[in-house]
Every structure is written in structure tokens, then in C-alpha cells.
Amino acid sequence: MSSGPNKRIAVIGAGAAGIAAAKYLLAEGLSVTILERKTGAGGVWNTQPGNGLWPSPVYDGLTTNVPRTLMTFANYPWPADASLFPTSSTVNEYLQAHLAQIRNSVAADSLCVSFATEVTDLRKSKFEHSPSWKIKTRTYRFGQEPTDQNVLVVGNSASGWDISLQLASTAKTVYVSTSRKRNENSFSAPTHIGVPQIRSADATTRSVTFEDGTVARDLDCVVFCTGYVYDFSFIHKGDELLFPAGLRVRNVYEHMFYTEDPTLTFVGLPKMSAAFNVVEAQSAVVARLLNKRISIQSKRERNRRVQNKEDDWEEQMRLGEAGASDYHSFRLAEDKEYVNRMLEWSMEAVEPTAFGDNGLPPPYWCKCLDTAREQSRDVRAAFNAKGDNRHGYTSVRSLGFKVNKTCAEGRSKMKGRFCSSCFI
């Protein structure tokens, strides 16, 4: 039987990825501490007042751009009356309710959650030999306390490019960023320019020059829709910053494990994906690996595979098939292959958990999820066509779309359990 209960795991972040990670770790019999800098769970979906320095990029009135069939935890269905395209507040309620359920579970004694707790520094004092990570936070309770073995850092939408560029003092200006600052003036007939990143801007001539030499002239303002960067600037190796802020996280194997030391783990780095399924698939692998019930490739092999992926990505960029922000992006439905590959990896576990079972089953991507994705665009159009009554529609069937019956594929693969979309 695994000796996992002696381990303490720190999970940094209480959004969807952090909740999934904690759930799977607890199912292994591990002890988990969640450190969340906001005043409550929900991550980017948490827009409640009182979050101080941590505003959300989610704006008032936002509805999801995919149906909830593509953002459902495998063992936690949405309320039956939840809108097919939920509002941001409904998503936040769903996440907070799921965490509350986990906190009330049989493993509750192994879970500690600390809100309003910002991690300011994370390091190993003797990186190659020390068994512990040292965590500094802005709260007294956890300041300087170690976690015996492992740290999970979760999420991909915490830090946005924060850019404002005013080109002419007499022109109308607008500030658009991921921190939700609003423009006070309006302007008409915006022009959308699809060109490489900016090389320079000249306020005198009201022009912007891009990397390919293209010049845009007579501009009143520039709107940056540049999304997020990965910012883990609190993680150090001695005085060295391990992961400089940028569009990708270097030296990470399978979008999860730091190649040099897999006790430092990431959940939720991938973008452009069915995120809830991906973070659960990752969490299933991470929990079993940290509990030493499955194995990982050698450091040499991890580094070789990461280098191969980087080479492939750079070749795709050279050919114009990928952009600088696509390293962790599942742009071409790669999440299906990834989710099912993580399932196969996690199911390699042979020894039982401390509870005598094989741990929490990971999600499986079956034909139901394929159908949900294929229908998504048409379903959203039909949903929006319902106008003010649209949130009364709670399933694709209610909008007149056919759905698969509960699929034998998922039932067989998961030994009686279904994929998340089988419930919708």
C-alpha cells in the first residue's frame, strides 16, 4: 500500500485547476493545503468584491463561449436548471460548490484551505538534496512553512499584458487590457489589423511599425488584445528565477512536470482546450505520480522530449502554422488525444491507495464529447437566438439538437462511469 499520507502537498490557486488537483490528491490519501490569493475560490470566475489587488478579467454579464457540456467535472454534474451557456456567476457558484463538497468529504481532515494568501516566494534551499520546498506568503499562518514533498502551481490566466499606448494627445483614447480597465470615450469604425507584434510606436506621427515592416498610420489609439502571460516569478532556485514571465513555461514535461525536479508540478497550463477535462486528466496523473503509484520518464528522457517539442513548435512558427503563444495551446483538438493519453498513464497504477482503491478515475474523452464540440458553434447560435429567454434553455436537446445516448465506449473504458458529457 502507498505511503502517501505522510506527504504534504501545497496547491497554489483555488480555481478550476486547483480544485481538480486537490480532489485527486485527496483521493490518494495525501495531505493538501490550498493557498489562494483571492478571498474565495473560483479563480478568474471569482469577480466578487473584496479581492483587492486581484481583479478578474471576467466582466459583468459574461456568458461562457462553449456549452457546459465542455466544462463539466466528471463526477460533479451541473445543477439541472443551469443554463447551457452559464453566466460567469453561475460558473463561480459551480466551482465554489464543488470545493465545498470536497471540504465536506471523508478526506476533509486532510485538506486545509487558506484564502487571501499570496505566495511571494517558493524555493528549495538546497535544490538537489533538500526534500522540502519553502513557501513564503503574505499571511502569518503559512509564512515560511515548508511542504514536505511537492508543490502544484495551477492556472494560466492570472497575469495579463498590461499595456497602454496613447498616440496623440488630441485624439480620443481607449485603454483595453486584461485587468478590466474601461475606456471613457467611444470611437467609431475600428480597424482590426492581423499582423505580427509591434516593433515601435511613434506618437508624433501617430504610427505603429510592426515586426514585418508593416506600418499603420493616422491612428487615434491602439487596442491591445494580447491575452495572458505565464507569470511564476515567485519560483526561485537560489537567487535564480526559474520561470521568467512569458508566453510559455520552459522545461516542463507534458505541460505538467518541471524536467529537473517533478516535485514541482503545473496543472492547467494548456489553453484553447476543454479545460475542465484537461485539468482533471492532469490531476489524475499528478496525484498518482506524487503518491508513487505510477512512474515518470528519466530526467534525460524528459529533457529530450521537451527539446523535441520545442523544435517542432519552432518549425511550425517558421512555417506560419503556429504563433508565439501556441506552445501550450491545444488549437487542433489535441486535448482529446491528451486527455485519453493521461487516462492510460494514470491507470497504470497497480498498488492501491491508502483507501484500498485505485484512486479517483480520470475523465475519458468519448464520442459524447466529440459531438458536444462539433455542435458547439451551431448550439451557441441557436441559444443566442432565444434572446432574453436564452438562459432558460439548459441542454442541447432543449434547443432541438440530437444527442448521443449514454455511450458504451465511455461505460466500458471507465468501468461503469461515463464521460462528463454523458450526463447532459
Inter-residue contact 28 to 293 (CB < 8 Å): yes
The C-alpha cell that represents 165 in the structure block: 499606448
| pLDDT at residue number 181 | 36
At residue 182, the pLDDT reads 35
* Size of the chain, expressed as the number of residues it contains: 424
Q: How far apart are CA 289 and CA 120, in angstroms?
A: 27
The helix, strand and coil proportions of the chain, stated in percent and rounded to the nearest 5, come to 30, 15, 55
Measured N-to-C along each axis, helices 88-103 and 16-27 cross at an angle, to the nearest 10 degrees, of: 20
Provide the edge-to-edge strand list for the sheet that holds 264-267: 111-114, 31-35, 8-12, 150-154, 264-267, 257-258, 252-253
Closest-CA residue to 263 (of 52, 167, 122): 122
Asked if residue 399 lies in contact with residue 382, where contact means CB atoms within 8 angstroms, the answer is: yes
C-alpha count within 13 angstroms, C-beta hemisphere, residue 271: 15
Which H/E stretch holds residue 229? Answer: strand 228-229
CA distances from 165 to 27, 173, 201 (A): 49, 9, 9
Mean pLDDT per 10-residue interval, the chain, length 424 residues: 62 94 94 90 82 70 90 89 95 95 85 89 67 75 51 61 44 35 38 57 80 80 72 86 88 95 92 91 95 95 96 91 88 87 92 90 85 91 96 93 67 54 51
pLDDT at residue number 159 = 55
How far is CA 117 from its chain centroid?
A: 19
In 258-407, which ranges are continuous DSSP H helix?
A: 275-290, 299-318, 334-346, 367-384
Torsion, Cα 55 61 67 70, to 10 degrees, reads 10
In b/e form, how buried is each residue of 93-102, taking b as 16+ CB within 10 angstroms?
bbbbebbeeb
C-alpha–C-alpha distance, residues 36 and 308, integer Å: 34
Cell (9 digits) for 299: 530526467
Q: Which of 143, 67, 14 is nearest to 383 (CA)?
A: 67
- Domains (range + CATH), the chain: 4-159+229-362 (3.50.50.60), 166-226 (no CATH)
Q: Are strands 235-237 and 111-114 parallel, antiparallel or unpaired?
A: unpaired
d(CA 178, CA 240) in angstroms, rounded, equals 28
d(CA 9, CA 346): 18
Q: Which residues, listed in sequence order, are joined to residue 236 by a DSSP beta bridge?
A: 123, 241
Handedness of CA 234, 280, 293, 303 (dihedral sign): negative
pLDDT, residue 226, reads: 63
Residues in CB range of 378: below 8 A, 6 or more apart: 401
